Amino acid sequence: MHIYMIPDQNERISSRDHSPIAGRFGNLSESIGSNRWLRHLAFFSIGLFVIAGLVSIITDDIDQNSLQEGKLLKPPVEAIGGESQEPTVIEQEETLVLKSGQSLIEAIRKAGVPSTLAHNAVNKFAKVIDVRRLLPGQEIHLQWLESNEKKFTGLWMRDGFEKRAEVVLQENGKFKSESSDISVLSLSRYAEGTIEDSLYLSAERAGVPAGIIVTMINLFSYDVDFQREIRPGDKFAIYFNRAYSQEFDDIRDDDILYAKLELSGNVIELNRFTRDNGDSEYYSPQGKSARKLLMKTPLDAAKITSSFNPNRKHPVLGYTRAHTGSDFRARTGTPIMAAGNGTVERASPNGTYGNYIRIRHNGTYETAYAHLSKYGKGIKKGARVKQGQIIGYAGATGRVTAAHLHYEVIVNGKFVNPMTLNLPTGHTLSGKEKNVFLAEQATQIQERETAKEVSRALLFVENVESSEPEVAAQ
């Protein structure tokens, strides 16, 4: 049993002087609360605060540097409280461009996709897109997941202008493929102008895309002699559709809805119309098809250098020799089109004609094409061709002075002038179809007028902006 006695004031003073603790550390009861004790406590607290701040700054710097280098710090396997956390997962996309002669499997295997996954993905992908017909330059978008390791999860690519094909790795380890639509916006455009040199160059200056110009020339090639009927001062107008993809920020040229040529006062108008059977053709305002049995000019935007002349002096031989067709000046390699539907009767070299093609269109009409540099794909004796199909390319084979196309039309075995030949016309609308055509034409006239005003307003703004002097930078 211990008995504790509380000493009086004198005893406390006496014991304080002889305490062993006091000998080592001084008088604690006197020190606590003193100025010296408070100074030590303040310095100690400031030290802890500074150390904590430095640790925080260093940690933040490490995190920022890691993020700037594209790395994420791996979280601890064991978090506070003993709960484990999953590693951070990053989704990544890698874009490849298919090279010439390269298959889809070869391309993605080269990018690091394991062989088994590559084959399984492409086999499933082939369900929604023809992988054998992919062209060099096709973009391939690979999908990856990155955590502790890089994992292939699928791919997608654009299939044409309005489709997107995709294959995705599912949780069960199997691939799923699908095709989806790409949202596009239909845009209508009107352009007009005066021909100064050629229809092609004048339309190009008016802002008409090259592909639309070529299509327009082909449409008029049934009726227009581009050598003698196109003159400076003639006028043109065109109304056409374009499709815009906001996702990919690109434009596709679509159909010509209306085209007009004013040639020395003679007006030719063409309107696009889709018949009940689904065929789309071009018709005059009266419903008469623009398509004829044969085209007058079987190559794009060509310039005729020598016309049909039975008494022409031959440029090589130097004496008079019948010229049984029309010559179209064209650079070597210019595509040559079949003037009409038919069957190839000959596709081989033919003496002074050089590389030569002859097509029979029916029991009455044949056409011939000479001095070709080479033949089109699949063009041989017996092949069926369609009007406008590329059958060969202009050249300088045979007896010639320069590259060009020599074009002949044979009617019942006799050569005739291709430029003055009266050809059978195509279909003429009647009954219900004609009524629908006339109603659509009336609606389109209003739409064209609106598009014309918009086009003129935009052109005015462009002219004003281009005429304003540039303000020099201060």
Residues 353 and 222: their CA atoms lie apart, in Å, by: 25
Q: In this predicted structure, what is the pLDDT of residue 455?
A: 82
pLDDT of 420 reads 79
Strand partners, 194: 235
Using a pLDDT cut of 90, give the percent of the chain over it: 55
pLDDT at 165: 97
pLDDT band (50, 70, 90) for residue 11: very low
Inform me whether the pLDDT recorded for 3 exceeds 80.
no
Q: How confident is the model at residue 36 (pLDDT cuts 50, 70, 90)?
A: low
C-alpha to C-alpha distance for 400 and 351, rounded to whole angstroms:
12
pLDDT at 371 over 90: yes
Q: What is the pLDDT, as a whole number, of residue 364?
A: 93
**Mean pLDDT throughout 373-387?**
96
Question: How confident is the model at residue 307, as a pLDDT?
Answer: 40
Q: What is the reported pLDDT for 425?
A: 76
| Choice between 223 and 373, residue whose per-residue pLDDT is larger | 373
3-state secondary structure 48-115: HHHHHHHHHHHHHHHHHHHHHCCCCCCCCCECCCCCECCCCCEEEEEEEECCCCCCHHHHHHHCCCCH
Percentage of the chain beyond pLDDT 70 is 73
Question: How much is the mean pLDDT over the chain?
Answer: 81
Q: pLDDT at position 54, please?
A: 55
Query: Is the per-residue pLDDT at 24 higher than 50?
Result: no
- Residues composing the chain: 474
For the cut 60, the answer to whether the pLDDT of residue 220 exceeds it is yes
Summarize pLDDT for 392-447 with one digit per residue, the tens. 999 999 989 899 999 999 999 999 988 778 887 778 999 999 999 999 999 999 99
3-state SS class at 471: coil
CA 264 vs. chain centroid, Å, equals 39
Q: Using one digit for the tens of pLDDT, what is the confidence trace for 113-136?
A: 999 999 999 999 999 999 999 999
Place 321 in a pLDDT band, splitting at 50, 70 and 90: very low
Q: Which two tokens stand for residue 296?
A: 């007058």
Q: How confident is the model at residue 370 (pLDDT cuts 50, 70, 90)?
A: very high
Is pLDDT at 272 greater than 60 in this prediction? Answer: yes
Q: Tell me the per-residue pLDDT of 67-112, one tens digit each, with 9 for 90 and over.
A: 333 334 444 444 444 555 666 778 999 999 999 999 999 999 999 9
